[in-house]
Amino acid sequence: MFGFLKKLSANRRNEAIEGRIKKMVSSGKDYAVFDELYFEAARTYAIEKGAKAADSTSASASVLVGGTTYRVLFVRATSGGTIFGVEDAQDVKDRVLDRSKMEEFLDKNLKSAFDDLGASVRYDKAERLTVKDIQDGVVKMPSWVNDQTNIEVLFDTTLKAAVKSGMSEIDALRWFGTKDLSDAIMTSVAQFEQAGFSKSEQIICACEFTEKLAKAYIKAQLRRQA
């Protein structure tokens, strides 16, 4: 039974990844960020496809779409999720043999890399400012604080992030019932907004921040119990 469920889960993962690749190919996109897809899933997919150099931040695989083989690069996004890079495998081969094409490709992708690095720098700064606000007792709110639907999404996803960190669901629910945590999460979102992240990116960043808070909270609880 377990083996069946594991295979079913793998099939769903593969369908989710390949579905995105097919949409990118059909729309002519060679670069996309999927915030909702964990890099670990893409990495496992690549390994099953025969990836030889999959590591903690990137992996690649050859995928057949409509009779054409594409080289797909998966990269862990700094703000969460996975970056997909899709390119015709023959173009990759041609570029390796043509220096001018390789230089053009590197120039284009360095810009994408710097953009991603910029997001990481903005996240780190916003996180530091959030911690300072919490220490100073300052509470801030994002501009969309009255958007009840997305506020519910924010607290639902940050709650899941807390559970993901190792906290039990009961403890997480109890923790989320405190005003201090609610204020901390809203303040972090306000800082991520100020840093230029979109609303969906703010929620993802808040999840990452909440996961760090949860891990620190768990460690503090364990020290008190020791």
Question: What mean pLDDT is reported for the chain?
Answer: 82
pLDDT tens track of the chain, all 226 residues?
A: 334 334 446 788 889 999 999 999 999 888 888 888 888 889 899 999 887 666 777 888 889 999 999 988 888 876 668 888 888 888 767 665 655 554 555 455 545 544 555 677 888 899 999 999 999 999 999 999 998 888 988 998 899 888 888 888 888 899 999 999 999 999 999 999 998 888 888 888 899 899 999 999 888 888 887 6
Backbone angles phi, psi at 49, to 5 degrees: -85, 0
Tell me what pLDDT residue 112 has. Answer: 55
Taking a C-beta distance cutoff of 8 angstroms, is the pair 81, 33 a contact?
yes
Give the list of residues 6+ apart from residue 186 with CB closer than 8 angstroms, or none.
Answer: 139, 140, 141, 142, 145
Instruction: Pinpoint the alpha helices (H) of the chain.
Output: 2-27, 39-48, 89-97, 99-136, 148-164, 169-176, 179-194, 199-225
pLDDT in tens, 109-152: 545 544 555 677 888 899 999 999 999 999 999 999 998 888 98
Determine if the pTM surpasses 0.75.
no
Taking a C-beta distance cutoff of 8 angstroms, is the pair 75, 65 a contact?
no
Give the list of residues 6+ apart from residue 192 with CB closer than 8 angstroms, or none.
Answer: 123, 126, 201, 202, 205, 206
